[in-house]
């Protein structure tokens, strides 16, 4: 597979390591829950449960052998076709992180 | 019809005109007591043991394609019970014991061959870890032997013993491990289940699971609605897809695992061997092909094919262990979809919906588990209690911190 890096252009997927579903960006805020049980439930779901779709999947890839950036790659899990590549940083900021 | 040596001779003398189809091809009834979704090894074994051991009637197995067309037809056929952890070893040893009596039990030649499996070690630390694992196996009633370098050399003189970086120092051996003709496992269970009245319904994809007041009432399929008192899901690889019908998210990712077979060679490797320094394992089929594999590709996938980097990685592992393997030509490679769970261990459990049961998360170790998986799932379906060897395979083990993580990799499915 070739990942079209937003800065570096097309790169072999072998240069990257794979983390998984891009939903991992949205780590729960443990202080934002009314009680510890609710926080534990949220962290359980965050850490262990996955949508695991057959089809379009947004996922985190780390350019370990390159510029060490984290990317959000939109890829089809049935055909392996990659349709979109973004910086994870931009995705997180667009959701209001680090403001 | 019982199969026997006498029967083969009698048929040979009468032109093989007496053979009948091994199972019926029934139309689905409007309802059943038990529906098993998934006509692979685990689903068929579940139906077989449900009918035979738990004397349950009115059972159907629903298969979207043909029987045994998924992972039971795509694996590398190895059986073993060389696990370390308490939650796993009794279960896999139960499975190996069932393999040992399987062919007599379901009257089908599955070519169970206990040719022995060795896990090579290359360092003192690895030897100590295998010593510990072997002791754990023996304590659970399995067999294990620690071989030194000379003993391994006597078995396989052609291995790369003096590799500067990964010299072979010895191996952990389980003599009762081996290989089985994988398709015959599906066929044997299918025939055995059919003979006991189970309806095996092929070309019948489940498109929905109906519930009423928190209770499963049946399944919508491409061949219409079929009612059921209890529904068991055994569709590893596609578990998330099927369970999404009831909006259930699982601690599972689907990944692709590739396997390979070389051209047919003269007898060379009479057992099963795993390389301790890379991820490479190999055995030789009865047709002479070297059957081997390595790691999963490492990204979510439902495509039953992988990519070239893993082909290269597996070939490197093979060359490093058995340099002469480079002279053999690769005949075929293929991929299967694995339920990779969050701790590398399976799940056999009830769900939050009454009457809906789940069996999956087998990672790339489901084949060896087939008999025990079927037995334990049948036990759960029939009695609502987990089988004594499968009490740890619960959904809530992640919430409670009771993970069964043989490799100690944490919640990172592509590393298990």
Same domain, B298 and B397: no
CA separation for the pair A95, A57 (Å, rounded): 18
* Structural domain ending residue among the three candidates B290, B309, B341: B341
Answer whether B316 touches A (CB < 8 Å).
no
Distances in Å between the Cα of B81 and the Cα atoms of A22, B254, B317 are 36, 24, 24
Contact B249 A49 (CB under 8 A): yes
| Res. A7 pLDDT band, cuts 50 70 90 | very high
Q: What percent of chain B has pLDDT over 90?
A: 98
The SS3 assignment for B189 reads helix
Nearest CA in chain A to B403: A48
Can you tell me the mean pLDDT for A21-43? 94
Answer whether B289 touches A (CB < 8 Å).
no
Q: Please name the residues between 125 and 154 in chain B that touch chain A, using a CB distance below 8 Å.
A: none
Nearest CA in chain B to A18: B299
Same domain, B240 and B263: no
CA separation for the pair B49, B245 (Å, rounded): 27
Spatial contact of B230 and B381, defined as CB atoms under 8 Å apart: yes
- Domain count for chain B: 2
Q: How close A27 gets to chain B, by Cα (Å)?
A: 15
The CATH number for B165's domain is: 3.30.9.10
Same domain, B159 and B134: yes
Q: How close B250 gets to chain A, by Cα (Å)?
A: 5
The secondary structure of B354-416, three-state, reads: ECEEEEECCCCCCCCCHHHHHHHHHHHHHHCCCCHHHCCCCCCHHHHCCCCCCCCCCCCHHHC
Q: Whose structure tokens read 């098993």?
A: B36
The SS3 assignment for B206 reads strand
Task: Give the pLDDT of residue A98.
Answer: 74
Residue span of the structural domain in which B37 resides: 5-78+84-93+100-105+182-250+343-415
Q: Which residues contact B291 (CB under 8 A, 6 or more apart)?
A: B76, B77, B259, B260, B261, B282, B283, B284, B285
Same domain, B12 and B89: yes
The secondary structure of B193-248, three-state, reads: HHHCCCEEECCCCEEEEEEECCEEEEEEECCEEEEEEEEEECCCCCHHHHHHHHCC
* Structural domain ending residue among the three candidates B319, B341, B363: B341
The CATH number for B352's domain is: 3.50.50.60
Contact A79 B303 (CB under 8 A): yes
Task: Give the pLDDT of residue A99.
Answer: 64
Q: What is the ipTM of this complex?
A: 0.96
Same domain, B369 and B404: yes
DSSP letter at B389 equals G
Task: Give the pLDDT of residue B413.
Answer: 95
Q: How close B363 gets to chain A, by Cα (Å)?
A: 14
Residues of A in contact with B235 (CB under 8 A): none
Q: How many DSSP H helices and E strands does chain B contain? A: 10, 18
Task: Give the pLDDT of residue A97.
Answer: 82
Same domain, B89 and B190: yes
Spatial contact of A74 and A85, defined as CB atoms under 8 Å apart: yes
Q: Which residues contact B45 (CB under 8 A, 6 or more apart)?
A: B189, B370, B371, B373, B374, B375
Residues of chain B with pLDDT under 70: none
**Within a 10 A sphere around the Cβ of B9, how many other Cβ atoms?**
10
Same domain, B305 and B355: no
Residues of A in contact with B345 (CB under 8 A): none
Domains of chain A: 2-26+54-94 (3.30.2270.10)
Same domain, B171 and B259: yes
* Structural domain ending residue among the three candidates B310, B341, B372: B341
Contact A49 B302 (CB under 8 A): no
CA separation for the pair A13, A18 (Å, rounded): 9
CA separation for the pair B10, B222 (Å, rounded): 42
Chain segment B357-415, per-residue pLDDT in tens: 999 999 999 999 999 999 999 999 999 999 999 999 999 999 999 999 999 999 999 99
């Amino acid at each position: 597979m070739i990942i079209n890096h937003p800065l570096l252009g097309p790169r072999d997927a072998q240069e990257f390591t794979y983390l998984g579903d891009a939903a991992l960006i949205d780590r729960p805020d443990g202080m934002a829950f009314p009680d510890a049980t609710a926080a534990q439930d949220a962290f359980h779901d965050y850490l262990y449960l996955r949508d695991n779709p057959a089809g379009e999947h947004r996922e985190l890839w780390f350019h370990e052998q390159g510029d060490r950036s984290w990317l959000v790659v939109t890829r089809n899990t049935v055909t392996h076709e990659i349709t979109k590549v973004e910086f994870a940083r931009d995705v997180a900021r667009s959701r209001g992180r680090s403001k | 019809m019982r199969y026997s040596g006498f029967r083969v001779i009698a048929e040979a003398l009468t032109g093989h005109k007496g053979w009948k189809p091994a199972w019926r091809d029934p139309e689905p009834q409007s309802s059943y007591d038990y529906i098993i979704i998934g006509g692979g090894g685990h689903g068929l074994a579940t139906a077989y043991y449900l009918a035979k051991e738990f004397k349950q009637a009115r059972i159907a197995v629903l298969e979207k394609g043909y029987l045994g067309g998924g992972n039971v037809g795509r694996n590398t056929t190895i059986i073993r019970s060389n696990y370390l952890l308490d939650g796993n070893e009794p279960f896999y040893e139960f499975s190996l014991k069932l393999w040992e009596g399987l062919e007599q039990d379901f009257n089908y030649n599955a070519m169970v061959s206990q040719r022995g499996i060795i896990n090579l070690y290359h360092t003192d630390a690895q030897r100590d870890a295998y010593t510990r694992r072997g002791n754990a196996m023996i304590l659970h009633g399995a067999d294990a032997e620690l071989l030194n370098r000379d003993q391994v050399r006597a078995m396989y003189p052609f291995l790369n013993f003096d590799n500067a970086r990964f010299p072979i120092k010895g191996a952990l051996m389980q003599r009762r491990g081996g290989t089985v003709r994988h398709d015959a496992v599906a066929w044997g269970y299918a025939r055995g289940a059919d003979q006991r009245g189970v309806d095996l319904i092929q070309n019948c994809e489940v498109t929905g699971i109906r519930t009423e007041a928190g209770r499963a009432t049946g399944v919508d399929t491409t061949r219409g609605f079929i009612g059921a008192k209890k529904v068991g899901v055994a569709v590893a690889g596609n578990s998330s897809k099927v369970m999404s019908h009831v909006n259930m998210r699982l601690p599972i990712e689907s990944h692709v695992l590739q396997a390979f077979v070389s051209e047919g060679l003269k007898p060379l490797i009479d057992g099963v061997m795993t390389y301790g320094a890379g991820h490479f394992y190999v055995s030789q089929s009865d047709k002479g092909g070297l059957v081997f594999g390595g790691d999963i590709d490492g990204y979510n996938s439902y495509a039953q094919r992988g990519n070239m980097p893993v082909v290269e990685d597996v070939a490197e592992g093979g060359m490093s262990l058995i340099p002469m393997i480079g002279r053999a030509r690769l005949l075929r490679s293929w991929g299967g979809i694995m339920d990779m769970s969050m701790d590398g261990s399976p799940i056999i459990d009830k769900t939050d919906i009454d009457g809906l049961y789940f069996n999956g998360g087998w990672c790339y170790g489901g084949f060896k588990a087939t008999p025990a998986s079927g037995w334990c799932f049948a036990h759960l379906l029939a009695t609502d209690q987990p089988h004594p060897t499968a009490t740890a395979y619960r959904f809530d083990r992640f919430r409670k911190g009771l993970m069964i993580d043989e490799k100690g990799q944490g919640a990172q499915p592509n590393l298990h």
